[in-house]
């Protein structure tokens, strides 16, 4: 049996990314030819390129230990190698980041890649021969000539994906089929989204140093996620870690992909704001461009932790762990945690903590006094159920949220969450596959209010359930809610699915003053979060809250969940649509 007799079938799955990404420019049209004698350092010893090529065809992929997009494709690499081997081909995986070489063997084991030829390109000779700039960048080599260069498929658009469940096109597989059937490759070069290969940095150029300028920038804007906690895939908390990823840091700040923040910042100050100034952005770019020098360590100044030291009164655990699959669609899993308190409790601080933060995009907490969610349980050992986006049962109130880099939530000035006796806590977790099987078990820590609570934290839910988006349409939906009492708004969290493109929430006071609570011009379901106001927003009685959201059900929407577009209605699945806004408030 030969390759002409077999059509490559693409493996499809999706992921949200909370880490570092970038994209490669369209490659030039110059033909890349690989010398048969090109020296490779493989895990089996030194080899010439001619010794690792397949009899019929060879695929070369540049990967990295901590590039989340490259890791997401690990099941694809394994499936591709199985197909290639049956047909006399071979898949060569190349680690070109110098910092990855010592960790490559463990990475191969964890992600099940041992059936591939593994190349350790510490001196970056192989990356230079292929003109590789990104991971995961893929090459098809036929008769020592590169006939395809680019991505495996189009499931990523920057650090997000273009569709709700699957790739639209599978350019690598299409190119393989064309080559082996003697046809012309219709698309021979494509853009690659992923992580920049950490090329050898220049030396001896004058520029910022880590200790003089860069460390303070990273501490301010990056390290709260990129630390040893594993929330983000790369650690910048030390010079060694920051220098290892200097090119990637420069790349993503230059393209304003990091730090990730979707809301407009001109109206309010946010307690969980992630941002970086233009001056700091320039410092990081200059540091990488001039060699990422270390500089002279400064005397450590005493720094107080901005998070208050908290003694927790109760820690609630799951009875088991939840398994997250290696590939496929993201999962929204709601866990039901019984409190079993025999009296009402007032909570003034809460902390949600995943046991495996690298697989968690966010957690939301809610109170369920009716036990209505229990009827949806599909796995008794973990008391949970999966559903895209929604809870299936209406909650009584919210209990805050956990997002990468967010502070522990502490209510002040006599404010508290009420937890009625016997209530369940619902913890909804957004999981994203990492390329290998993972497990997680979130915990909830509570501090009971020691002083009387004068203001109860409540939840206002605004929703439209009559959404209808004909195929090809772009529509705006609005809703209004009159507020009969004066309130203080503490947080706001919008929720839409893949057709959502923008959303704005405003308040019109009785005096016709318009207050913008939130504006998101480029909605992205994978970066939805609760926005926490640094100071509560005072809303007088008689005001009206207005929500206006734009939905795009045309093929021009890069996150279109149906190709070609189909009619979309309100619903719970990833191919349905939602318009929800959760507002945390207290009465004045």
463/577 Cα distance (integer angstroms) = 12
| pLDDT tens digit sequence for 297-323 | 876 544 444 456 889 999 999 989 999
| Nearest CA-CA partner of 527 in 488, 491, 554, 500 | 500
94 and 68, same domain (yes or no): yes
pLDDT at 484 over 90: yes
Torsion angle in degrees (nearest 10) through CA of 106, 108, 112, 116? -150
Domain boundary among 455, 483, 506: 455
Examine the domain organization and report whether 260 and 387 are in the same domain.
no
Closest C-alpha to 293, from 220, 213, 199:
213
* Judgement on whether residues 316 and 281 belong to the same structural domain of the protein: no
CA distance 137 to 147: 14
Q: If we measure between CA atoms, which residue out of 155, 154, 137 comes closest to residue 146?
A: 137
Q: What is the rounded average pLDDT of the residues 196-204?
A: 80
What does the DSSP 8-state code read for residue 213?
I
Task: Look at the chain and report how many structural domains it folds into.
Answer: 3
In a domain, 558, yes or no: no
Average pLDDT over residues 355-364: 90
Residue 505 is predicted with a pLDDT of: 97
Listed in sequence order, the residues at least 6 apart from 304 whose beta carbon sits closer than 8 Å to its beta carbon are none
Domain that includes residue 244, residue range: 210-289
d(CA 349, CA 452): 14
Q: Say whether both 245 and 372 belong to one domain.
A: no
Residue 364 located in a structural domain: yes
**Taking 60 as the threshold, does the pLDDT of residue 4 lie above it?**
no
Most confident of 96-100, 229-233, 472-476: 472-476
pLDDT band, residue 16 (cuts 50/70/90): very low
pLDDT of residue 39: 95
Q: What CA dihedral angle connects 335, 340, 341 and 347, to 10 degrees?
A: 0
| Predicted local confidence at residue 300, as pLDDT | 59
pLDDT tens, position by position, 245-299: 999 999 999 988 888 889 998 778 888 888 899 999 999 999 999 989 999 887 6
Average pLDDT, the chain: 88
Task: Say if 79 falls within a structural domain.
Answer: yes
Q: Is the pLDDT of residue 509 over 50?
A: yes
Q: Answer whether residue 473 is part of any domain.
A: no
Is 164 or 103 the better-scoring residue by pLDDT?
103
The interaxial angle of helices 246-254 and 278-289, nearest 10 deg, is: 140
| pLDDT (tens digit per residue) in 529-556 | 889 898 999 999 999 999 999 999 999 9
* pLDDT tens per residue, range 118-158: 999 999 999 999 999 999 999 999 999 999 999 999 888 77
pLDDT of residue 165: 52
Q: How many Cα atoms occupy the beta-carbon half-sphere of 342 within 13 Å? A: 0
86 and 147 belong to one structural domain: yes
Does residue 275 sit in the same domain as residue 238? yes
Which one is predicted more confidently, 43 or 6? 43
Q: How many other C-beta atoms are found inside a 10 Å radius of the C-beta of residue 307? A: 10
Q: Say if CB 439 and CB 356 are below 8 A apart.
A: yes
Q: What is the pLDDT of residue 155?
A: 85
Q: Which of 221, 233, 232, 227 is nearest to 281 (CA)?
A: 221
Q: CA 300, 301, 302: angle at the middle one, nearest 5?
A: 115
pLDDT for 29 equals 46
């Amino acid at each position: 049996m030969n390759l002409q007799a077999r059509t490559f079938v693409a493996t499809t799955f999706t992921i949200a990314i909370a880490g570092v990404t970038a994209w490669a420019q369209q490659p030039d049209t110059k033909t890349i030819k690989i010398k048969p004698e090109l020296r490779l350092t493989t895990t089996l010893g030194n080899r010439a390129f001619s010794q690792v090529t397949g009899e019929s065809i060879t695929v070369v992929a540049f990967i990295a230990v901590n590039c989340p997009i490259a890791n997401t494709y690990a099941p694809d690499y394994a499936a591709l190698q199985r197909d290639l081997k049956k047909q006399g081909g071979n898949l060569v995986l190349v680690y070109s980041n110098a910092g990855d070489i010592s960790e490559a063997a463990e990475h191969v084991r964890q992600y099940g890649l041992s059936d591939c030829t593994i190349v350790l390109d510490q001196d970056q000779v192989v990356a230079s021969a292929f003109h590789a700039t990104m991971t995961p960048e893929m090459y098809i080599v036929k008769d020592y000539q590169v006939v395809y260069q680019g991505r495996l498929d189009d499931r990523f658009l920057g650090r997000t994906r273009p569709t709700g469940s699957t790739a639209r096109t599978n350019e690598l597989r299409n190119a393989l089929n064309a080559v082996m059937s003697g046809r012309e490759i219709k698309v021979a070069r494509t853009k690659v989204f992923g992580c920049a290969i950490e090329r050898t940095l220049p030396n001896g150029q004058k520029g910022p140093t880590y200790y003089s300028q860069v460390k303070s920038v990273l501490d301010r804007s990056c390290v709260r996620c990129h630390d040893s906690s594993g929330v983000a895939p790369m650690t910048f908390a030390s010079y060694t870690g920051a220098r290892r990823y200097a090119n990637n840091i420069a790349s993503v700040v230059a393209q304003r992909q990091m730090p990730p923040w979707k809301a407009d910042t001109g109206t309010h100050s946010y307690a969980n704001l992630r941002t970086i100034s233009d001056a700091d952005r320039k410092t990081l770019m200059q540091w990488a461009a001039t060699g990422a020098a270390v500089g002279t360590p400064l005397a450590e100044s005493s720094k107080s932790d901005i998070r208050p030291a908290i003694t927790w009164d109760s820690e609630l655990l799951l009875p088991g762990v939840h398994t997250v699959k290696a590939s496929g669609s993201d999962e929204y899993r709601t866990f039901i945690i019984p409190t079993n308190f025999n009296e009402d409790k007032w909570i003034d601080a809460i902390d949600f903590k995943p046991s495996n933060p690298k697989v968690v995009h966010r957690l939301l907490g809610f109170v369920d006094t009716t036990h209505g969610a229990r009827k949806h349980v599909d796995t008794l050992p973990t008391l949970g159920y999966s559903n895209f986006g929604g809870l299936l049962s209406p909650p009584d109130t919210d209990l805050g949220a956990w997002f990468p880099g967010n502070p522990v939530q502490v209510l002040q000035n006599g404010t508290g969450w009420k937890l009625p006796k016997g209530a369940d806590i619902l913890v909804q977790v957004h999981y994203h596959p990492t390329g290998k099987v993972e497990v997680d078990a979130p915990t909830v820590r509570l501090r009971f209010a020691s002083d009387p609570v004068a203001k109860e934290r409540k939840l206002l839910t605004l929703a439209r359930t009559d959404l209808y988006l004909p195929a090809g349409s772009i529509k705006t939906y609005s809703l209004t809610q009159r507020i009969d009492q004066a309130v203080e708004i503490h947080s706001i969290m919008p929720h839409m699915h893949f057709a959502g493109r923008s959303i704005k929430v405003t308040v019109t006071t009785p005096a016709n003053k318009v207050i913008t609570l939130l504006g998101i011009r480029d909605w992205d379901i994978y970066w939805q979060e609760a926005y926490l106001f640094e100071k509560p927003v005072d809303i007088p009685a008689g005001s009206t809250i207005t929500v206006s959201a734009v939905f795009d059900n045309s093929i021009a929407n890069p996150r279109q969940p149906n190709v070609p577009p189909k009619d979309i209605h309100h619903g719970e699945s990833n191919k349905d649509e939602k318009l929800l806004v959760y507002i945390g408030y207290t009465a004045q």
